[in-house]
């Protein structure tokens, strides 16, 4: 069986999170052949993998959302050339988001090798945009609206123009652009289509756009509608949609996914990796000092992890508990400007005992931590919390994604395994750090509870068994 994994902005370029999940999935099924179809921003990332690909990955294909107009000179599609009536109606349906004629659009981009520049600057696109403007947005400046529509549709058109690798099953690890590619493949090859959402793609893009400074006013809503449109395509075309926990399933249904298509499939970790975590508190090569209380944050230093709030909260906590030390363990090169701002914040606050380790092997550090912490403003079902549980460490986490379920359980009777806080709430996060720092018995109790919860529901064996059944169902039915 040949499976094409479609991932946007993660594997194999970025470590942690969804990338770790994909890597473990590919390793879990050595008898299957995997092809990676990676959606990335531009060609500067070409081939810059942070993972050593397993032997059963036979191909990697890249799709660029920002790219050169390669077809402009080669095919020379003239501006005066017009779309057929059917092609124009398909384009119009897309812009108006009314009964979108996706199959006609797929056929158009497969059949026509046109210049995106000429298409977006041509009369047909202008006419469709003008109609959309008059019907829905006549109160805004037309020239601004026109250029916004061009910027919205260029990445989608680049995706629609992709040459797809053939596979028995397309497994899209998100909706969005990944879901569009999977839907195209299903139409082209008649293959199965599985969509697995770790975070709810549409909601994550909506949250990003609400906070974004580069887009304002009604234009935020226009961008959000575009992402909803693509997600609906994936939900409608998928044979099966998975989510990590119950509330995520509820959100998928709310966003238009048929409930009967959805299956809840929790994450799983290789807990045996943490069996030999070093529990010693003595001095060693990692800079662990006796008498300190260690807070471990395993994360990428990016805005979505809200590292600045973590730094501020730790600074206040250290004033109350001077023995505290914070280890921020993860890559600092994914958003270098944000990382620089975090370094400067540490200097500005003058807080000692904050260590940025960069990318590390977490198994060599987690056993030495007294607690883990995650201050994200968006998450799915964080693997870092589960890995901390495997090392019997309590967690502090913001109330995003499935963090509430991981910390307080979902009617499992085990008891709390950490402390939940509101996002960006420096006071609550500080209080949580101080409480665990001052209550060693609670740290131990919560860590044991976390270990029990992980072993009951979140082992990699459980996840492998679940997906074995799912992959087998596609293999047998050929759907």
Domain chopping of the chain, boundaries = 1-268+459-479, 271-458
Topology (CATH level 3) of domain 271-458: Rossmann fold (3.40.50)
Residue 289: pLDDT band with limits 50, 70, 90: confident
Band the pLDDT of 16: cuts 50, 70, 90: confident
| pLDDT for the residue numbered 234 | 97
The residues with which 264 forms a beta bridge, in sequence order, are 243
Rounded distance between C-alpha atoms, residue 49 and residue 252, angstroms: 31
* 66-94: burial string, b at 16+ Cβ within 10 Å, e else: ebebebeeeeebeeeeebeeebeebbbbb
**Cα-based angle 319, 321, 324 (whole degrees, multiple of 5):** 100
pLDDT at 475 over 90: no
Residue 137 in contact with residue 218, Cβ under 8 Å? yes
Give the Cα separation of 87 and 117 in Å (integer).
17
SS3 of the chain: helix, strand, coil, percent, to 5:
50, 15, 35
Confidence grade of residue 268 (pLDDT, cut at 50, 70, 90): very high
CB of 39 closer than 8 Å to CB of 178: yes
**277: pLDDT confidence band, cut at 50, 70 and 90?**
confident
- Considering the chain, what is the average pLDDT of its residues? 92
Question: Which H or E run includes 98?
Answer: none
Q: What is the mean pLDDT of residues 205-209?
A: 90
Q: Return the DSSP state at 165.
A: P
Dump pLDDT digits (tens) for 19-73. 989 999 999 999 999 999 999 999 998 989 999 999 999 999 999 999 865 555 4
Please give the pLDDT value at position 223: 96
How far apart CA 368 and CA 365 sit, in angstroms, is 6
Band of pLDDT at residue 80, cut at 50, 70 and 90 = low
Tens of pLDDT, residues 221-244: 999 999 999 999 999 999 999 999
Least confident of 16-20, 233-237, 456-460: 16-20
Does the pLDDT of residue 78 top 80, yes or no? no
pLDDT class for 200, splitting at 50, 70, 90?
A: very high
Q: Do domains 1-268+459-479 and 271-458 have the same CATH topology?
A: yes
**Distance from chain centroid for Cα 322:** 36
Tell me the pLDDT tens digit for each residue of 90-140: 999 999 999 999 999 999 998 876 678 888 999 999 999 999 999 999 999
Instruction: Give residue 81's pLDDT.
Output: 66
User: Residue 87's pLDDT band (boundaries 50, 70, 90)?
Assistant: very high
Mean pLDDT for 320-338 is 94
pTM: predicted TM-score of the whole model, two decimal places = 0.89
Query: Among candidates 25, 122, 112, which has minimal Cα distance to 78?
Result: 122
**For residue 412, what are the CA distances in angstroms to 393, 421, 454, 456?**
19, 21, 11, 9
For the residues 171-199, what does the mean pLDDT come to? 97
Q: What pLDDT is recorded for position 158?
A: 93
Give the Cβ contact number of residue 96 at 10 Å: 14
pLDDT at 278 (0 to 100):
47
Which structure tokens are listed for 108?
């158009």
Q: Per the omega criterion (within 30 degrees of 0), is the bond before 252 cis?
A: no
Q: For the domain with range 1-268+459-479, which CATH number is right: 3.40.50.2000, 3.40.50.300, 3.40.1000.10, 3.40.50.2300?
A: 3.40.50.2000
């Amino acid at each position: 069986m040949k499976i094409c994994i479609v991932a946007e902005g993660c594997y194999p370029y970025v470590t942690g999170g969804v990338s770790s999940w994909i890597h473990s999935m590919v390793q879990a099924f050595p008898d299957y052949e995997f092809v990676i179809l990676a959606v990335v921003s531009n060609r500067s990332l070409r081939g810059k993998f942070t993972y050593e690909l397993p032997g059963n990955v036979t191909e990697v294909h890249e799709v660029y959302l920002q790219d050169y107009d390669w077809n402009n000179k080669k095919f020379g599609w003239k501006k005066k050339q017009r779309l057929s009536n059917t092609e124009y109606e398909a384009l119009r349906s897309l812009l108006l988001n009314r009964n979108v004629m996706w199959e006609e659009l797929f056929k158009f981009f497969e059949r026509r090798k046109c210049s995106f520049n000429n298409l977006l600057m041509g009369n047909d696109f202008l006419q469709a945009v003008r109609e959309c403007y008059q019907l829905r947005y006549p109160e805004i400046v037309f020239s601004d609206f026109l250029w916004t529509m061009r910027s919205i549709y260029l990445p989608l058109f680049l995706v629609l123009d992709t040459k797809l690798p053939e596979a028995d099953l397309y497994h899209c690890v998100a909706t969005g652009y990944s879901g569009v590619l999977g839907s195209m493949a299903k139409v082209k090859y008649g293959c199965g289509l599985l969509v697995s959402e770790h975070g709810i793609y549409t909601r994550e893009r909506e949250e990003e756009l609400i906070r974004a400074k580069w887009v304002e006013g009604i234009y935020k809503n226009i961008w959000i509608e575009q992402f909803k449109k693509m997600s609906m395509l994936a939900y409608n075309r998928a044979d099966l949609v998975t989510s990590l926990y119950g509330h995520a399933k509820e959100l998928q249904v709310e966003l238009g996914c048929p409930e009967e298509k959805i299956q809840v499939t929790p994450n799983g970790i290789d807990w045996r990796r943490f069996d030999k975590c070093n529990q010693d508190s003595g001095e060693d090569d990692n800079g662990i000092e006796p008498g300190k209380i260690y807070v471990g944050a395993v994360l990428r230093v990016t805005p979505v992890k809200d590292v600045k709030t973590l730094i501020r909260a730790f600074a206040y906590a250290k004033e109350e508990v001077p023995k505290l030390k914070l280890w921020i363990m993860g890559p600092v090169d994914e958003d270098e400007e944000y990382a620089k701002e975090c370094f400067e914040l540490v200097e500005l606050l003058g807080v000692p005992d904050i260590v940025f380790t960069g990318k590390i092997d977490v198994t060599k550090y987690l056993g030495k931590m007294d607690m883990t912490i995650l201050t994200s403003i968006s998450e799915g079902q964080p693997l870092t919390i589960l890995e901390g549980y495997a090392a019997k460490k309590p967690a502090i986490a913001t109330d995003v994604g499935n963090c509430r379920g991981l910390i307080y359980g979902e009617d499992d009777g085990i008891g709390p395994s950490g402390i939940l806080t509101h996002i960006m709430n420096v006071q609550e996060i500080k209080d949580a750090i101080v409480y665990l720092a001052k209550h060693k018995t609670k740290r131990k109790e919560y860590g044991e509870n976390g270990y029990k919860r992980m072993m009951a529901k979140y082992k990699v064996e459980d996840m492998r068994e679940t997906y074995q059944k799912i992959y087998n169902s596609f293999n047998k039915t050929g759907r």
